Amino acid sequence: MKITSTSCICPVLVCLCFVQRCYGTSHHSSIKVTRNQTKHIEGETEVHHRPKRGWVWNQFFVLEEHMGPDPQYVGKLHSNSDKGDGSVKYILTGEGAGTIFIIDDTTGDIHSTKSLDREQKTHYVLHAQAIDRRTNKPLEPESEFIIKVQDINDNAPKFTDGPYIVTVPEMSDMGTSVLQVTATDADDPTYGNSARVVYSILQGQPYFSVDPKTGVIRTALHNMDREAREHYSVVIQAKDMAGQVGGLSGSTTVNITLTDVNDNPPRFPQKHYQLYVPESAQVGSAVGKIKANDADTGSNADMTYSIINGDGVGMFSISTDKDTREGILSLRKPLNYEKKKSYTLNIEGANTHLDFRFSHLGPFKDATMLKIIVGDVDEPPLFSMPSYVMEVNENAKVGTTVGTVLAQDPDSANRVVRYFIDYNAEEDRFFNIDANTGTIKTTKVLDREETPWYNITVSASENDNPALLSHVTVGIRVLDVNDNPPVLAREYDIVVCENSKPGQVIHTISATDKDDFANGPRFNFFLDEHLPVNPNFTLKDNEDNTASILTRRRRFSRSVQDVYYLPVTVSDGGIPSLSSSSTLTITVCACERDGRVRTCRAEAFLSSAGLSTGALIAILLCVLILLAIVVLFITLRRSKKEPLIISEEDVRENVVTYDDEGGGEEDTEAFDITALRNPSAAEELRYRRDIQPEVKLAPRPRALSTPDSIDVQEFLRQRLAEADLDPSVPPYDSLQTYAYEGQRSEAGSISSLDSATTQSDQDYHYLGDWGPEFKKLAELYGEIESERTT
């Protein structure tokens, strides 16, 4: 089979198309197929040869974006087995078979029915096979081939990241790199020049240039000044086909901004300035502003101002406002028109951030001269001191002089000054001032313990101009006098233990005094000397403004006296000394050995007798236990006795235990004692009490006919046989209990259980001689003897 392709590589290059048709088709796409053959030779067996692949496929090519009315011819399949009679059928399978690519199953011609886009899919993998049309058997093995979509220049270059915003410092050297732009082309870069892009600048010359191969944008001029022009809009074009005619192109915009550098020094607009400042300006207040201009921006325009010389260096100061970049002139000392009417200052403004690359453009500072004119104003009175501090004793009489303030008119007119005190509406008025002399006096009696300090504001104004006021603060300290006696610091709860020893400290007391330190401590503590000596307690002054209470005797008793009273006197160190008396209350309490208070309340009677709380609780528990035992004993005595269980089926239940004395005939008739003797008491087989038997038991073996000859072993064997033969017995092991004592011995039984059924020659008349306690027993055996005789 051979394949013929008539597709041209490029519709523009006719020569190449012709070469492909003539040379390329026969060389690349024509494959000869040899059929698999089987030889038959007479006398020899049939020999099968390994099939050889008849074709090795190269690529088919189909042009993309085909817009013709007819399907595009791709190529032809042909098998050596095809004789042209239509017996060979060609089949095409794989990607796009039957939808995009169709084949003439008789001739093998392949056509493309749709317009293909190489940028969406570059190639298709298909499988071809030639079969016999009559038998549907393959004539040759199936083989794979590729149809490759041939690219055309149908995609323009694109800048995926544009438009661009970029900055470059001003004053940069020529050729400084600004930005690299990149355009992408979706066409096949391995075929032709469809994806080969070159760059050019459409707008932005002569300031910038672009490398045609790399797309790097560079500055094209020296010393581009931001202050002259800051923003540039550059348009870059990318064109494929290596920039040839007919190539497709795309463009983008690059917005370039020149960033600032410190290449401009500050400059004052004027070399001389004049400023008017009234003499009434307050110290520390801003009296004027000055500013130097800087063409730079940001930190490159930051500057500081300073006063470099002049006669007003000590009177004024200058600072820099960082936001407005202005110099703020402030007053350092009060101005006085009468003393100096003008000042001269030389002010300098200098950049703070210097760039030494541009130092040749400096110096980056400038200076100007400022003349300050002091204005004359009518000033308020001026006090001789900025503030006053005065003193006065407490309890001084009303009208006592405290002190005097002085204010004068600073103007040359020296007008008369008047004084007054500024009071709030709710403020108590303890002082007044002489309007002419400025003398301050008291209007009320002062108490230092209530208010130790007063602050008042005195105002002064000129007689002719009351609106001009000046104020001064006057502080008045109230001096202390000894007018308050000392008292105990608090009310003390003093406790003395019953087991206290003589000289033992039971409490420490202290005192306070409202007066000042000089008239208060040191305090003296003592007992009243006019009273007799206290036999129980005494007082010791510790000489540190405290005193200790001590006991005088051993042991105290609450039963005798539980509260004691001790009068104490305290005096201060003032002149003259003041004192006060107080009575301390001392309570007697019971304490532990380590001194901890146990109780201070009176105890109950039993406690005074010597019984503790634990002993009382133990006694109470014993009483409760005894009562519980008595109640339980009575309850048991009154409870009813259980009735005797009498059953003929179980001999064990006939054994009754009781703790009375003999009941006589009632006891002997309560049960059949002879049943305990031997198996003769149970001639018939007893049935189980828990079920009703449905069948009768088998007859006993004849060997059991003589009870007297049965021993215990034989008895158990018989009972075991009866249990095994009993159909009513449940199918599990059960416990069988028999009250059989075995054969009697030859010596006879010493028991009297069978005395009622056996003959005995014993005489029981002697029981009547044993007394009234055995009367009933004698009567019982007497009746048995009489019955036996009868």
Per-residue pLDDT averaged across 177-185, rounded? 91
491 and 592 inside one domain: yes
pLDDT for position 316: 95
Render pLDDT for 347-358 as a digit per residue (tens, 0 to 9).
999 999 888 888
pLDDT for position 659: 55
Domain boundary residue among 322, 348, 375? Answer: 375
Q: Which of 67-76, 190-199, 707-716 has the lowest mean pLDDT?
A: 707-716
pLDDT for position 746: 55
Q: How far is CA 396 from the centre of its chain?
A: 67
pLDDT for position 664: 54
Domain boundary residue among 427, 458, 479? Answer: 479
Q: Could you give the CA distance from residue 482 to residue 578 in angstroms, rounded to a whole number?
A: 8
Q: Do residues 256 and 235 make contact, with C-beta atoms less than 8 angstroms apart?
A: no
Length of the chain: 790
Q: Is residue 337 part of a domain?
A: yes
Q: What rounded mean pLDDT belongs to the chain? A: 78
CA neighbor of 156 nearest in space, from 208, 210, 119, 109: 119
pLDDT category at 207 given cuts 50, 70, 90 is very high
Q: Which of 16-30, 427-441, 691-705, 750-764 has the lowest mean pLDDT?
A: 16-30
To the nearest 5 percent, what fractions of the chain are helix, strand and coil?
A: 15, 30, 55
Q: Is residue 53 part of a domain?
A: no
189 and 205 inside one domain: yes
| Top-confidence range, 140-144, 243-247, 424-428 | 140-144
| Top-confidence range, 118-132, 158-172, 352-366, 714-728 | 158-172
The number of beta carbons lying within 10 Å of the beta carbon of residue 789 is 6
pLDDT of 592 above 70: yes
Tokens standing for residue 402: 């405290």
Quick one: residue 204, left, alpha or beta (phi over 0 = left, psi -120 to 50 = alpha)?
left
Beta bridge partners of 689: none
Q: Are strands 231-239 and 249-259 parallel, antiparallel or unpaired?
A: antiparallel
Per-residue pLDDT averaged across 7-11, rounded? 36
Domain count, the chain: 5
Q: Is residue 416 part of a domain?
A: yes
pLDDT of 149 above 50: yes
- The owner of tokens 């004698």 is 778
82 and 63 inside one domain: yes
Domain boundary residue among 454, 479, 504? Answer: 479
pLDDT for position 611: 57
109 and 81 inside one domain: yes
Domain range for 224 is 158-259
Tokens standing for residue 171: 């004053």
pLDDT of 690 above 90: no
504 and 535 inside one domain: yes
pLDDT of 40 above 70: no
pLDDT for position 607: 43
Q: Could you give the CA distance from residue 89 to residue 131 in angstroms, rounded to a whole number?
A: 5
Q: What angle do CA 175, 179, 184 make, to 5 degrees?
A: 125
141 and 184 inside one domain: no
Render pLDDT for 630-663 as a digit per residue (tens, 0 to 9).
999 898 887 755 554 444 444 444 455 555 555 5
396 and 475 inside one domain: yes
Quick one: residue 546, left, alpha or beta (phi over 0 = left, psi -120 to 50 = alpha)?
beta
pLDDT category at 156 given cuts 50, 70, 90 is confident
Name the DSSP letter for residue 386.
S
Per-residue pLDDT averaged across 466-495, rounded? 90
Q: Is residue 554 part of a domain?
A: yes
Q: What is the DSSP string of 49-113?
A: PPPPP-----EEEEETT---SSPEEEEEEE-TT--SSS-EEEEEEETTBTTTEEE-TTT-EEEE-
Render pLDDT for 515-532 as a digit per residue (tens, 0 to 9).
887 777 789 999 988 888
303 and 394 inside one domain: no
Q: Is residue 444 part of a domain?
A: yes
Q: Is residue 386 part of a domain?
A: yes
CATH number at residue 448: 2.60.40.60
pLDDT for position 666: 52
pLDDT category at 594 given cuts 50, 70, 90 is confident
Q: Is residue 195 part of a domain?
A: yes
pLDDT for position 317: 94
Q: Is residue 660 part of a domain?
A: no
Q: Which of 251-265, 363-377, 470-484, 671-685 has the lowest mean pLDDT?
A: 671-685
297 and 249 inside one domain: no
| Top-confidence range, 63-77, 127-141, 673-687 | 127-141
pLDDT of 181 above 90: yes
pLDDT for position 22: 32
Per-residue pLDDT averaged across 483-504, rounded? 90
Q: Do residues 509 and 549 make contact, with C-beta atoms less than 8 angstroms apart?
A: yes
pLDDT for position 752: 53
pLDDT category at 431 given cuts 50, 70, 90 is very high
pLDDT category at 401 given cuts 50, 70, 90 is very high
Higher pLDDT, 664 or 44: 664
468 and 492 inside one domain: no
pLDDT category at 539 given cuts 50, 70, 90 is very high
| Residue 308 backbone dihedrals phi, psi, to 5 degrees | -90, -30
Q: Could you give the CA distance from residue 292 to residue 473 in angstroms, rounded to a whole number?
A: 43
86 and 144 inside one domain: yes
- Beta-strand runs (E) in 352-397: 365-375, 382-383, 387-393
Q: Could you give the CA distance from residue 285 to residue 307 in angstroms, rounded to a whole number?
A: 17
Q: What percent of the chain has pLDDT over 70?
A: 76
